[in-house]
Structure 1
Amino acid sequence: MLSGLRNCAYFAATVSVTAMSGGWWGVSAQEQRWVQIEAHRDLDEALDAARTYDARIGSVSGFLLPSDWYAISVGPFENDTDAFAVRRQLRSENAIPIDAFISNGANYLDQVFPTGPDAPRVAPSPSISTAPGDDLPAEPDTQFAETTPAPEPEPEPAPQPEPEPEETLREAQASERLLTRDERVDLQTALQWFGHYTLGIDGAIGPGTRRSMQAWQADQGLEETGVLTTRQRAQLLDAWQGELAMLGMDTWRDEDAGISIDLPLAMMRFDRRETPFVHFDERDDSGVRALLISQTGTNATLFGLYEIMQTLDIVPLEGERERRQNSFLLTGQSDSLRSHTVAQFRNGQIKGYTLIWTPERDDQMARVLPMMESSFETFGSALPDSAGPASLVPRGDLLSGLTVRRPAFSRSGFYIDATGTVLTSAGAVANCERVTLDEANTARVVARDDALGLAILEPENPLVPMAFAQFQQDALHRGSDITISGFSFEDMLTRPVLTFGRIEDLNGLNGESDRIRLSAAVRPGDLGGPVFGANGAVVGVLYGQPRDDARQLPPEVSFAVPSDAIRSFLRSNDIAVGTSADNAAIMPPETLTQVSGDVTVLVSCWQ
């Protein structure tokens, strides 16, 4: 109807004439399509917006929504194609917002604009029930029965023309030869959309395109000739355009984030920008959301983001995880949620996107994701660094507004070899359904000694830690200064905390040789962390206080498993470890801080 639209002035004139002639307003409720421009919570604001738009483009209406908001819309139109064409034209002229979308008006309640006796009215949506008795015939008024003229009989409906006969194979081949390259590209794209064509879009009808046409015909219960008739091509293209209109696939170009990407904007709406994300929330309970990822940083920032995003509820635990040299892929699936995240580091910027949806949208999102991937482009700058690098800030700041999945508890551990083997306390992995390292890598318990209080973990996928521990060989001395590295506040920080103290005794309170007594104010999150000597070598693993229901030790009293007992435990499990060659050296504090941060790992227990 309006596919020939050229400018807003023409559009305004067209909608005015059509409205007066009863054209659009005669469209049945089941067939109505609208271009929804905006929604406002306040009625006065909605009416002001409706008047402004109506003066500029015409045929604007306002409706109450079930949420008590007010929708401002243009229309109605007879079908998705007309509504989509008008929306695209108005968008190209910046006459309506970028996130305007196509609606069938099913949730439009009372009309609030325009109002008055001359205002066109819209038939109630079939989803809205009428008042009791509204569908009952009125009682006849017998008082004036003799003067009331009989109703005119309904005219006989005009006979429908017989459908034109289907083309023969020869006629279909002849009409196919008349297609332009753009028309052949559209045909391949539509076949690809419905999963029948899997090759490159080249506009050439070869054997692959023939097979896909045959598959589409089989899917529709048609004769499988491999050549589409004019009617079949129209049917295929109409179905494709209808799905595109329903999804509202359109380009979102975000100047602040420096990202351009095609998004299903009929299913989601822009919400806010919070570094490193541009948030899109679901529209009309569609279950579809998105994040655009944009921030400055380094490869370490990218990897920090990779680890932290795996703790989000929007990234279910089951799914593919792949961290490449300068990019990563995260997929997740559960009974109630799906997500797909990609991000890359290039030229000092991390950019990417996340699509989140509910399982009933699987088929649609399987079509949307390739369109997002092929359309994704980066340019310009990134979002400002208001949240800081992903690897160095608390998740609460970085992921504001997103729900973080939390473990039952977290303790500390440390790398003991170049493949990512971790030593921790036995209590850190007790009664855990799943154990993770830095919440990003699943690990399994390969050895455990509850009496000694130690456990060995291996990551399911080998890791390459920045550094791993060296153990002290020489005898320990009372009064020696020590430094404990651990996640004192469990998963609240992304780097370990250093706690300083000294060795008070080389045995436990009852003379145990596999314990050393420390003076240090530690927290539960520190347990399992390394105890460093002055030279940076590990002299023990923090054990904490023994359980004693009858006594309460002073808070500064703690215990550790000494290095000789640790090395014996590791040897019994065929694990070789490094030892410090220079036990007399003193490691500068700044170096020890760096080493402890590289060696210490967060061990989380999930139940």
Structure 2
Amino acid sequence: MKRLLAALLATGFFSSPGWAQDGGVWLQVEALPTLSRAEARARAYAGRFDAVSGYALGTGWYGIALGPYDTTEARRLLGELKSAGAIPGDAFLADGAQFRARFWPVGARGDAPAARTPETAPEPVSDTPAPQQSAPAETGTTAPRETLAEARASEAALDRPARERLQVALRWAGVYAAGIDGAFGAGTRAAMAEWQRQNGYTDTGVLTTTQRAALLAAYDAVLDGLGLDPVTDAQAGIEIALPTALVARGPVKPPFVHYDATGETQARVLLISQPGDARRLAGLYEILQTLEIVPPEGPRGLDRTSFVIEGANDDRVTHVEAQLSDGAIKGFALVWPAGDETRRARLLSEMQSSFKVLPGVLSRADAPADEEQAIDLVSGLQIRTPLRERAGVFVDDGGTVATTAQAVADCGDVAIDGLRGAQVVMQDAASGLALLRPAAPIAPRGVATFQTGVPRIGDKVAVAGFPYGGALSMAAATFGRLADIRGPGGEEDLKRLDLTAQPGDAGGPVLDMGGAVLGLLLDGDRQPGRVLPEGVALALDSDTVLEALGAAGIEARRTEARIDGTVQAVARRAGEMTALVSCWE
């Protein structure tokens, strides 16, 4: 079956067939109850077939169809695709009579031209628009057909906002790219003619009353079910159109007023309101990008009076914008489920055009001192957190860090002390060692000096790391004893410690009481499937680390001196040389 499908694809059988000569039929392959699910499935089909269309079915469902094709070919194709498993087994031939507003491809809007048979051949095209069936009026009658002169006359009666709205709808339909000025010049006329051609009308370049209604109905249909209404939030000092059927006002946690989801659609709106200047605007811009609701991938920009942030991942698309206005920062964030881009883009446009700054601004006094406060929350929003946080040790003045290979395994991005973009220059699973180079030079507070002498079993040692992750700004020291200068299996490149370590300590330096580095703490046992007993830890020997540093062209500091320092001095020295290594998706 896979070979059959591959052969059909290779021959270009599904490539842009155009309208079939006999009017033809479609292969209706799926019907979905929501627009977002239908768009996602249409996108999947479009990755395999070129002739993919999506139409509202007029029953609250959305259909995905291939075609149209000649009837004979369509019947053959239906059987072959079902046999190949390329389309569902319940796919069927459809004449298109049930198709309404078109939602796929994006930008190809308008009703579907009904499939024609030889018995219902098209009428000759004249200089006047072809008759179109409009939605029934309340009396059950059909709108009268307009001549070209009558269409011009009805168009002339439109005020400027109505004319601008038509241009906006034409732009949304993908046929108009010029400015929204209400002036119907050559560009607008060409767009109207193209829309007419796409939707089966005579291309006069002048829309009739019925055609204008059809264009605007398709434009507005995307917003059905959102409950889009103007909302005035006096506390925030903002007026804006919101999808009131999907979100409702929640807690006020400056600088945000939360409008949270009320149903299955995981939509969310934040109104942004706080006193501020250009400096505070820049600070808010940076903070927002650390939030879990703002995916890291996407365009963004900041100037002295405004910023825009876009972020998208497989779960959500987030748009944030804010501006300075009379000593206040006002704006909003729209968080919308991924895969529903048509509605999201239209809703965002409506929110942007309706946004108004009013008197009033949120202050810190508006925030309750409740028990939901947490270090990883900003105004009630979760800060984006890394996959894991481990320790490392600075090995040169440029900020190169040695850590464990496991600390940076499968990371999309690595940060050293919060600075993202670190490069993994070496990663050796056998030894368990990795070397990192920062995205920009770092001037560490301290650099490791490695002990090349042989330590004594039973000596007091310290491990520096981050047992609480990034909650503390400086590494903490944990003290224990050197149990053996070899690993539990006699490994020459390991040292065994009597010490209780936490996951965040892994990769950190193991120091003698003079502050020299004896090795790096590993993430448990290197042997797969073997778990160390409680209170036992392993460290990679300093000689192995030095060998790797030499191979990377790093001349590390060394010593054989034995110094018996205080616990406080060792802890201070450990904190200076230890880096926080963060692994991000």
1:252 Cα offset (Å): 3.6
Alignment check: 8 A CA contact 2:404 2:523 kept? no
Judging changes above 3 Å, is the alpha-carbon distance between structure 1 residues 509 and 184 closer, same or farther for their aligned structure 2 residues? closer
Distance in structure 2 (CA, Å) of the matches to 1:509 and 1:339: 50
Judging changes above 3 Å, is the alpha-carbon distance between structure 1 residues 258 and 383 closer, same or farther for their aligned structure 2 residues? farther
1:363 Cα offset (Å): 1.3
Distance in structure 1 (CA, Å) of the matches to 2:219 and 2:180: 16
Distance in structure 2 (CA, Å) of the matches to 1:406 and 1:368: 32
Alignment check: 8 A CA contact 2:412 2:583 kept? no
Name the counterpart of 1:270: 249
1:527 Cα offset (Å): 0.4
Distance in structure 2 (CA, Å) of the matches to 1:360 and 1:554: 48
Distance in structure 2 (CA, Å) of the matches to 1:483 and 1:244: 62
Which consecutive unaligned segments of at least 5 residues does structure 1 have? 1-157
Name the counterpart of 2:476: 498
1:345 Cα offset (Å): 9.2
Q: Is 1:450–2:429 an aligned residue pair?
A: yes
Name the counterpart of 1:364: 343
Q: Equivalent of 2:289, from 306, 313, 324?
A: 306
Q: Is 1:338–2:316 an aligned residue pair?
A: yes
1:273 Cα offset (Å): 3.1
1:523 Cα offset (Å): 0.8
Alignment check: 8 A CA contact 1:275 1:384 kept? yes
Moved more, 588-597 or 417-426: 588-597
Q: Equivalent of 1:165, from 141, 145, 161?
A: 145
Which secondary structure does the structure 1 equivalent of 2:340 belong to? helix
Judging changes above 3 Å, is the alpha-carbon distance between structure 1 residues 469 and 426 closer, same or farther for their aligned structure 2 residues? farther
1:261 Cα offset (Å): 3.8
Distance in structure 1 (CA, Å) of the matches to 2:319 and 2:382: 15
Q: Equivalent of 1:425, from 390, 397, 404?
A: 404
Moved more, 511-520 or 559-568: 511-520
RMSD: 5.4
Distance in structure 2 (CA, Å) of the matches to 1:578 and 1:298: 43
| 1:342-353 alignment, distance < 5 Å | 342=320, 353=332
Alignment check: 8 A CA contact 2:274 2:363 kept? yes
Distance in structure 1 (CA, Å) of the matches to 2:443 and 2:206: 63
Which amino acid in 2 is paired with 1:394? I
Q: TM-score w.r.t. structure 1 length?
A: 0.53
| 1:509-548 alignment, distance < 5 Å | 514-515=493-494, 521-530=500-509, 540-543=519-522, 546=525
What do the CA deviations read for 1:11-42 (whole angstroms, capped 9, x no partner)?
xxxxxxxxxxxxxxxxxxxxxxxxxxxxxxxx
1:526 Cα offset (Å): 1.4
Q: Equivalent of 2:298, from 309, 320, 332?
A: 320
Distance in structure 2 (CA, Å) of the matches to 1:485 and 1:564: 19
Q: Is 1:394–2:375 an aligned residue pair?
A: yes
Which amino acid in 1 is paired with 2:146? E
What do the CA deviations read for 1:164-207 (whole angstroms, capped 9, x no partner)?
33121x44345444543333222223323444333332222233
Alignment check: 8 A CA contact 1:543 1:561 kept? yes
Distance in structure 2 (CA, Å) of the matches to 1:291 and 1:475: 55
Q: Percent identity?
A: 31
Q: Equivalent of 2:175, from 196, 199, 204?
A: 196
Alignment check: 8 A CA contact 1:423 1:528 kept? yes
1:540 Cα offset (Å): 4.6
1:501 Cα offset (Å): 3.5
Which consecutive unaligned segments of at least 5 residues does structure 2 have? 1-137
1:498 Cα offset (Å): 1.3
| 1:221-240 alignment, distance < 5 Å | 221-240=200-219
Q: Is 1:472–2:451 an aligned residue pair?
A: no
Alignment check: 8 A CA contact 1:471 1:563 kept? no
1:401 Cα offset (Å): 7.9
Which secondary structure does the structure 1 equivalent of 2:522 belong to? strand
Which amino acid in 1 is paired with 2:580? T
Distance in structure 2 (CA, Å) of the matches to 1:354 and 1:299: 16
Distance in structure 2 (CA, Å) of the matches to 1:350 and 1:591: 42
Judging changes above 3 Å, is the alpha-carbon distance between structure 1 residues 530 and 514 closer, same or farther for their aligned structure 2 residues? same
Residue correspondences, number: 426
1:547 Cα offset (Å): 6.3
Judging changes above 3 Å, is the alpha-carbon distance between structure 1 residues 306 and 463 closer, same or farther for their aligned structure 2 residues? farther
Judging changes above 3 Å, is the alpha-carbon distance between structure 1 residues 265 and 383 closer, same or farther for their aligned structure 2 residues? farther
Distance in structure 1 (CA, Å) of the matches to 2:310 and 2:531: 49
Moved more, 518-527 or 534-543: 534-543
Which amino acid in 2 is paired with 1:279? H
Q: TM-score w.r.t. structure 2 length?
A: 0.55
1:454 Cα offset (Å): 0.7
